[in-house]
Structure 1
Amino acid sequence: MRAGLSTAAVLASLLIATLVVVPAGAGKPVTPATPPNIDISQRHTNESEEAIAVNPTNPRNIVMVSNVDFPAAGMLEGVSFDGGQTWTTKLIGNNDNLGDACCDPSLSFDNYGNLFLAYLFNVEDTLPIALSTDGGLSFNVIAKIPGIAKRNGKGADEKGLFRFVDQPTITAAEGEVWAVVNVGGPMGAFGAPVTGLGQVGAVSTSEVIPGTNNCTYGDVAIGPGGKVMNVCTLTESGQGGGKLFVSVDPDGLGPAGFGSRVFVAETHVGGFDFIPPQPDRSVDAEPGLAWDRTGGPHNGRVYLVYTLEQKNESDNTDIFVRFSDDSGASWSAPVRVNDDGTVNSQFLPKISLDPTTGRIAVVWYDSRNDLGTGGAGDTDGLPNDDAQFWGAFSD
């Protein structure tokens, strides 16, 4: 189960969609007008681990899926066809045709309007993949991916600290869809060709990514020419010592397979790292990828966002972005995204890339305004235990 904010995070889900489409200004990042918060769920309990996707064939079609509080079965889904102003909501995966869903939803639209959903079952140790062809109004399971199906012959370990399928991420691009998941130790990856709306080919046998034993909390991205990149976090302990590694399959659905892992950065953030604004749920480094396929000046550039704790167990966590112009073989120096002068916590970032301009947007939770002295960023008179939602945008 992915670490996530334990408050009603579906409010933030809508904000993500709104922020990503705000155009960036020239010369320096801009601060757009704050959009109104809309309570999508209208529930009295908390939601977490939310995912959101915007339909490129109809950008006013936005879909959100999140966890609901245990013991409620299933996940909450919200669908909007007016840019997020109004929403239709329902529980899915509550022993319906999607089965008995637990958590960890991941969503991605492709260029045909197919919407792919990966999630976890409550009991069954497989990864279900569901497809919607009507903008999220209905889903059908098209694949169930088991744990490790084969070794790829490159020395990947078969078992590690994890003994169950966990941490799925799915992404779609022109002509293919890919998912990665911890398959009970190492990371597994699988893909399928897509030729049109509802036209999804057979899902490939899960390939174990070399050097990823006990590496999780990651992301997957598809680059030009069908290249595929996985990023994951190797956590030495729950409270720190994290390292980020990337692995690349140079031909995606072709026969090459993933190569050896490449070290990118230390994070000092463990798999379950407790900080004051997340005292119960904890955080991880939450690395995320965005690969430029626009054909523009930075075509082929891949961006990586992550959380860095400046000193282990200091709670001074910041959000950083690096980029690579050689498919992950080497990486730029890190750039800090949050511009505050405090030692308060920033955490759980997400990154998105405009598919037409190549501009990037990063969003995260930010405790900079919680100095324990009251005001908009403080609810209880204690410092660094409340968080607001922030975003930054490239030129």
Structure 2
Amino acid sequence: MIRTCHFAIALSFIALACRELPQATSPSQPLAVAQSTSNARNPAWWNKYLFLAENGPMRGGAPTASTGFDNVDVSNECGPQSETYITLNPNGPRQLTAGSNEIFRLPMRAYFSSDGGSSWGGADVPLPPPLSGTNDTRFGSDPTLAFDTQGNVFYGFIVVFFSATFNTPSNGVGINGTELAVARSSDGGSTWPRLTQFSFEPGENHFNDKPMITVDGGDASRFRDNVYVAWDAAFGGSTAGGIRVARSTDHGASFAVNRADNPGGPGNSIGAVPFVGPEGTLYVAWNDFSANVIAFNRSFDGGVTWDAQRTIAPTLIPFDIGIPAESVRRALVYPACDTDRSRGPHRGRLYCAWMDLNAAGTTGILLSFSDNAGLSWSAPASVGHQVAGTDRFNQWLSVDPVTGDVTASYYDTQNDATGQRFMTDVYLSRSTDGGATWLTDVRVTTQSSNEHDCNGLFPCPSINYGNQQGDYEGLVSFRGVSHPIWTDSRRNTERAGDQACGRGRGLMEEVFSATVRN
């Protein structure tokens, strides 16, 4: 075993934590069943915080263009990216907008395409000013995007404020607080002139995490073009935290916030995702890791009031799990949900997918659906056709609003010829009958990636800085075409030592997308 120490942030404290990490395993060594945990670990932005504390931000931020891969390199820029998201304009579905974390830089990154994803440009999303009376530093994390019916695209993320002297021992970790931010663009994402901030939480013990955004696009909905953001607010592990949902009725200019989970519960939740039915009912699902369930709630008045919390299904993995392909970051349990808004036979059906253990002790993707607005849910069933002895993780789900087809994307380790479950590819699974059966799984990536080790080094320092694939990837489907977006390390060694990248670092972890037609 290799013993390593790292800073970890939990719901109630920030402390120096040590844990044992397994050495890289040779092909002849048997793999132990992955071990799950119910402990809340450091949020995705913690690795960014550590890097900035030690190195300061990298240069960069000029618009980028794609390279000529079948898998299009969306980011094509220095340093690692992670946690990707993608959306499209329903009025012009060749207009795509995406986002990612910039692990070594301060701002959020947006990407935009006007040709259906064949080529991309890039732009930085603005950060808010320092806190009043301070000269602190800020960075963003956890991107999420959605279009409204008027062509505006909204980019949600969390903002982390920390002291300008945060890396001095006398100042401790120096986190001054976190808040939510939503930027708005009216040109598809090339410029972001408007930024709205809300739900600031001061200090180190209170923080916001994992926002997800959606917009009500229903033709008949009385809440049409409402913008909703859901996230978990960790308040030192107290009941003051929980799942928050913010709503905007003025195109993102302002937000009002309500709590969607059980207000008397422990507030141990993560991975909230909002989604809207065709008639305007607002739904939210999340991982309640104190109860070991995928939880759910609904609002019939645009997020003002909420029904009683319900359960979609129990989980075997409470919070996350260390699998060979993501042994440092650990794969997170969260729901990815959508609603059938088509005119097909399953209109109004709710779908949620999440990762959990299977009988072999590896991880797979499960799906459950509801035909009665979430009052009851189908028994969880496997998505697609998983190869025995492999892992799947970081899923996303999209229901085509025209065809009603259900598509899921995820990382899969089935192409690791060594059987070590290190090598990952992105796959799509599609159902044309409401999730009852699945067509043949489609491999999206043209090259596998190994982020467990690089040339025998574990953990791989030149790729991930502890972040590996991050916590989630994105997917959007429309009119028989799916656009998955993800990160991988196929270009890890390129531009090594290039002065434009700084500090001898190369491309490392790039954002890729693909266009998959049915």
Quickly name the TM-score band, shorter chain normalised.
0.7 to 0.9
Alignment-derived partner of residue 316 in structure 1? 362
Runs of 5+ unmatched residues, structure 1: 7-34, 149-160, 373-381
Task: Tell me how far apart the structure 1 counterparts of residues 272 and 384 of structure 2 sit (CA, whole Å).
Answer: 21
Out of 271, 292, 298, the position equivalent to 2:340 is 292
Question: Structure 1 residues 147 and 326 mapped into 2: Cα distance closer, same or farther (>3 Å)?
Answer: farther
Question: Structure 1 residues 366 and 96 mapped into 2: Cα distance closer, same or farther (>3 Å)?
Answer: farther
AA aligned opposite 1:204:
A
Mean alpha-carbon deviation: is it higher for 73-82 or for 266-275? 266-275
Out of 86, 90, 101, the position equivalent to 1:52 is 86
Mean alpha-carbon deviation: is it higher for 36-45 or for 54-63? 36-45
1:121 and 2:175 matched:
no
1:137 and 2:190 matched:
yes
Q: Is the 1:103–1:121 Cα contact (8 Å) retained in structure 2?
A: yes
Task: Tell me how far apart the structure 2 counterparts of residues 327 and 142 of structure 1 sit (CA, whole Å).
Answer: 33
Question: Structure 1 residues 331 and 51 mapped into 2: Cα distance closer, same or farther (>3 Å)?
Answer: same
Q: Give the number of the structure with larger relative contact order, counting CA–CA contacts within 8 Å between residues 6 or more apart.
A: 2
Mean alpha-carbon deviation: is it higher for 36-45 or for 57-66? 36-45
Task: Tell me how far apart the structure 2 counterparts of residues 87 and 287 of structure 1 sit (CA, whole Å).
Answer: 29
| 1:81-230 map, 5 Å | 81-93=114-126, 100-123=138-161, 124-146=177-199, 163-174=206-217, 175=224, 176-184=226-234, 185-193=241-249, 199=251, 202-210=254-262, 213-230=267-284
Cα distance, 1:110 vs. partner?
1.8
Task: Tell me how far apart the structure 1 counterparts of residues 370 and 83 of structure 2 sit (CA, whole Å).
Answer: 28
Q: Is the 2:146–2:154 Cα contact (8 Å) retained in structure 1?
A: yes
Cα distance, 1:187 vs. partner?
0.7
Cα distance, 1:142 vs. partner?
4.5
Alignment-derived partner of residue 321 in structure 2? 273
Larger Rg: 2
Task: Tell me how far apart the structure 1 counterparts of residues 253 and 181 of structure 2 sit (CA, whole Å).
Answer: 16
Alignment-derived partner of residue 74 in structure 2? 40
Cα distance, 1:202 vs. partner?
4.3
Alignment-derived partner of residue 19 in structure 1? none
Structure 1, residues 320-340: CA drift from partner, whole Å, max 9, x if none?
111001111101122211313
Question: Structure 1 residues 391 and 218 mapped into 2: Cα distance closer, same or farther (>3 Å)?
Answer: same
Task: Tell me how far apart the structure 2 counterparts of residues 242 and 348 of structure 1 sit (CA, whole Å).
Answer: 18
Task: Tell me how far apart the structure 1 counterparts of residues 376 and 231 of structure 2 sit (CA, whole Å).
Answer: 24
Task: Tell me how far apart the structure 2 counterparts of residues 203 and 166 of structure 1 sit (CA, whole Å).
Answer: 17
Alignment-derived partner of residue 98 in structure 2? 64
* Identical columns (%): 25
Task: Tell me how far apart the structure 2 counterparts of residues 172 and 46 of structure 1 sit (CA, whole Å).
Answer: 29
Structure 1, residues 146-203: CA drift from partner, whole Å, max 9, x if none?
158xxxxxxxxxxxx9721111010012212111111232011121236xxxx55642
1:351 and 2:397 matched:
yes
Alignment-derived partner of residue 334 in structure 1? 380
Task: Tell me how far apart the structure 2 counterparts of residues 393 and 110 of structure 1 sit (CA, whole Å).
Answer: 26
Task: Tell me how far apart the structure 1 counterparts of residues 362 and 205 of structure 2 sit (CA, whole Å).
Answer: 29
Alignment-derived partner of residue 153 in structure 1? none
Structure 1, residues 184-242: CA drift from partner, whole Å, max 9, x if none?
32011121236xxxx55642233353256111112110113221111111224xxxx84
1:325 and 2:371 matched:
yes
Question: Structure 1 residues 242 and 338 mapped into 2: Cα distance closer, same or farther (>3 Å)?
Answer: farther
The SS at the match of 2:279 is helix
The SS at the match of 1:322 is strand
Task: Tell me how far apart the structure 1 counterparts of residues 348 and 415 of structure 2 sit (CA, whole Å).
Answer: 37
Mean alpha-carbon deviation: is it higher for 302-311 or for 35-44? 35-44
Task: Tell me how far apart the structure 1 counterparts of residues 361 and 422 of structure 2 sit (CA, whole Å).
Answer: 11
Task: Tell me how far apart the structure 1 counterparts of residues 205 and 375 of structure 2 sit (CA, whole Å).
Answer: 28
Task: Tell me how far apart the structure 2 counterparts of residues 208 and 141 of structure 1 sit (CA, whole Å).
Answer: 27
Alignment-derived partner of residue 75 in structure 1? 108
Alignment-derived partner of residue 14 in structure 1? none
Structure 1, residues 227-275: CA drift from partner, whole Å, max 9, x if none?
1111111224xxxx8421101112325x5x1111111222222433211
TM-score by length of 2: 0.59
AA aligned opposite 1:391:
L
AA aligned opposite 2:424:
A
The SS at the match of 2:248 is strand
Q: Is the 1:115–1:135 Cα contact (8 Å) retained in structure 2?
A: yes
AA aligned opposite 1:235:
F
The SS at the match of 1:258 is coil
Question: Structure 1 residues 2 and 324 mapped into 2: Cα distance closer, same or farther (>3 Å)?
Answer: farther
Cα distance, 1:143 vs. partner?
2.7
TM-score by length of 1: 0.77
AA aligned opposite 1:394:
S
Alignment-derived partner of residue 18 in structure 1? none
Task: Tell me how far apart the structure 1 counterparts of residues 128 and 216 of structure 2 sit (CA, whole Å).
Answer: 30
Cα distance, 1:315 vs. partner?
4.8
Task: Tell me how far apart the structure 2 counterparts of residues 210 and 145 of structure 1 sit (CA, whole Å).
Answer: 22
Task: Tell me how far apart the structure 2 counterparts of residues 220 and 147 of structure 1 sit (CA, whole Å).
Answer: 20
Task: Tell me how far apart the structure 2 counterparts of residues 308 and 207 of structure 1 sit (CA, whole Å).
Answer: 26
Task: Tell me how far apart the structure 1 counterparts of residues 100 and 295 of structure 2 sit (CA, whole Å).
Answer: 27
Cα distance, 1:62 vs. partner?
1.0
Cα distance, 1:36 vs. partner?
1.0
How many residue pairs end up in the alignment? Answer: 331
Structure 1, residues 95-146: CA drift from partner, whole Å, max 9, x if none?
789x943210110112221111110112142101111111111123443221
Alignment-derived partner of residue 423 in structure 2? 386
